[in-house]
Structure 1
Amino acid sequence: MTVIVRALHLDNPADTEAFARVRRTCLPAMLATPASIAYDATHAHPGAHYRQLVAQTGAGEVIGTAQVGLAYDSPEPGQGYANVYVHPEHTGHGAGALLLRTAEEYLGRHGATEVHCWALDAPRNLAWAAARGYRASRSAHFLRLDLTVGPLPPRRATPPHVELRTASGYAKDPRPLFELDAEATSDEPGDIQAELTDYDQWLRDTWHHPLLSHELTTVAVVDGTPAAFTAALTDGDGRYMSGMTGTARAFRGRGLAKLAKNDSLHRARAAGVTVAYTGNDAGNEPMLAINKWFGYVLDATEIRHVRTLAH
């Protein structure tokens, strides 16, 4: 089979639809729509050098995708990433290898010294990454909750001085949510640490992103201060993903994240969402325990890999 790799054509609706379709097939938990794919490309930070690649057959069928860029918000420079996915019906034809090699060459030209990629926790996938010089690092779990079967944990009364609001209530001034997100993100476990310091970029990356549902995102507010939140991503086709759930340091240990997430899930189900996904670093025991309490079950595990580029 002839395979070529090229840049995604954002002006071609069939291209963005194919890109989203491959991503959904390979990893359903990572929501993707043609609109979100196009938005990611057109609103990326210049320092990310973000690029989307596709692998296609000689007949023009898109069978693989790659999201490539630099972690511009990391305090450690030179951290690149190449998230490669090949449709399971088209593996073994070299599409993944060609996507990864193209991504590495591109990142190297833009100053990357290391490239991070994910591989599903399966013998074939892990062997594929190892054969290309990647060493295994942290793992992450994707969890799934069927909202059409069984009850959610019942809502409970909010504690004194605590109020549950939606993100819609911050439409005029979302900066308090940016500050809460920045603090929670800085404590997230992972290989690449992120520092959210650019409010305008956060507005583009997060607040205005087409997948973010302001109506289903819940914020736990204590005496007027946003203390915990769960960000809800939806694709308009019955799928929901927890984009981020976190609590400000001063309010941890009070069950506020669980309270916010429960509220969001109840409202999501009432709005017609049928399946909810979430993802956690395998070492994030507190959040994994919360998700087990909700009834989430393991859907997939990925292991992050890293390779140092030779210059």
Structure 2
Amino acid sequence: MTVIVRALRPDTTADVEGFVRVRHRALPHVLFTARSVRHDLSHADPDAHVRTLVAEVDGEIVGTAQIGLVHDSPEPGQGFLNVYVDPARTGRGAGTLLTRTAEEHLAAHGATKLFAWVLDEPGNRAFAERHGYRASRRAHFLVLDLARAELPPLQDPPPGVELRTAADFADDPRPLFALDAETASDEPGDIDTELSDYEAWLAQTWRHPLLDHELTSVAVADGRPVAFSAARTDGARTYTTGMTGTARAFRGRGLAKLVKNASLHRARAAGYTRAHTGNDADNAPMLAINSWFGYEIHASEVRHVRELG
């Protein structure tokens, strides 16, 4: 039994399907499709030196890794690697070889500090610690049974606020970009990023195959978007919230609940039966909002950090 690690071939159906299969088994609360995997690879920023790796055993893909540099951070030298192995195929050395290959690639491109999300389970955390990573912040995966949930009733927006969808901004999405950039900069985390490249945002976010413009809700006030809840779907049963945010000047008015509730109601009406989202463990306001909707924590991850040599 020999483990082989190589780059994923995005034009090869078996490779992409193998990647998606492993991710669904190891990380069932995050949405991946063949189209989304190809899109993410083809639209990655060249400065990020992104690679997607797969580990094979006897011709079967058993592990995956997404790696790259955090090119949009004001702090240089930061890299990321997220390694996942099929839970039924662990113990064969795939995770170790993926990690070693990822670290060599990132170090060759100037990375001095590496960040990795690790499932909050004893075996996974022990693996990270053996490879020199120390635990940092936690995040949670939350799930809502959308088919049976008792969603809060729809409410009219407050005076001066209008509810729309992302589809209403098809001719000019730049105002949504500005709101996304503002809210993303306030997200809790251990890596600071600056969302400033509009053309990259159009390619990577606005035109992403999972983003559903009709289900993405937007609150508009004073002629501009002030809150939004971005919806991603697999086009069948699964709905996930990519981001919910409110402009700083409009926080504390219940707009996050308003836009997310509208999106959830429309998603259920469209036939989606399962809703996913994720929150940093320190994001108490958003955790409270999701609890209000009925979301429950199903799993957690711990960010791990390693300083290179």
Range class of TM-score, shorter chain:
over 0.9
Distance in 2 separating the partners of 1:91 and 1:34: 24
Find the residue that maps to 1:18 and give its secondary structure. Answer: helix
Cα displacement (A) at 1:225: 1.6
Cα displacement (A) at 1:212: 0.5
Distance in 2 separating the partners of 1:251 and 1:38: 37
Q: TM-score, normalised by structure 1?
A: 0.98
Alignment of 1:97-246 (within 5 A): 97-246=96-245
- Per the alignment, residue 54 of structure 1 pairs with 54
Alignment of 1:26-105 (within 5 A): 26-58=26-58, 60-105=59-104
The answer as to whether partners of 2:19 and 2:64 remain within 8 angstroms in 1 is yes
Amino acid at match of 1:219: V
Aligned length: 309
Cα displacement (A) at 1:237: 3.0
Superposition RMSD on alpha carbons, in Å?
0.8
Distance in 1 separating the partners of 2:225 and 2:13: 39
Distance in 2 separating the partners of 1:196 and 1:153: 33
Q: Does 1:21 align with 2:29?
A: no
Distance in 2 separating the partners of 1:279 and 1:84: 18
**Could you list the runs of 4 or more consecutive aligned residues of structure 1 that deviate by over 6 angstroms after TM superposition?**
none
Cα displacement (A) at 1:29: 1.8
Amino acid at match of 1:35: R
Amino acid at match of 2:13: P
Amino acid at match of 2:153: P
Distance in 1 separating the partners of 2:165 and 2:285: 24
Find the residue that maps to 2:260 and give its secondary structure. Answer: helix
Cα displacement (A) at 1:191: 1.0
Cα displacement (A) at 1:124: 1.0
The answer as to whether partners of 2:79 and 2:111 remain within 8 angstroms in 1 is yes
Alignment of 1:239-278 (within 5 A): 239-278=238-277
Identical counterparts, % of pairs: 65
Distance in 1 separating the partners of 2:108 and 2:228: 38
Runs (5+) with no aligned partner, structure 1: none
Cα displacement (A) at 1:89: 0.3
Distance in 2 separating the partners of 1:123 and 1:28: 18
- Per the alignment, residue 4 of structure 1 pairs with 4
Residues 75-132 of structure 1 show CA distances to partners (whole Å, capped at 9, x for unaligned) of 1111100010000000111111110110000000011011110111111111110010
Distance in 1 separating the partners of 2:257 and 2:194: 24
Runs (5+) with no aligned partner, structure 2: none
Cα displacement (A) at 1:284: 0.3
Residues 205-245 of structure 1 show CA distances to partners (whole Å, capped at 9, x for unaligned) of 10011111101100011132210001001112311111111
Cα displacement (A) at 1:272: 0.9
Amino acid at match of 2:206: W
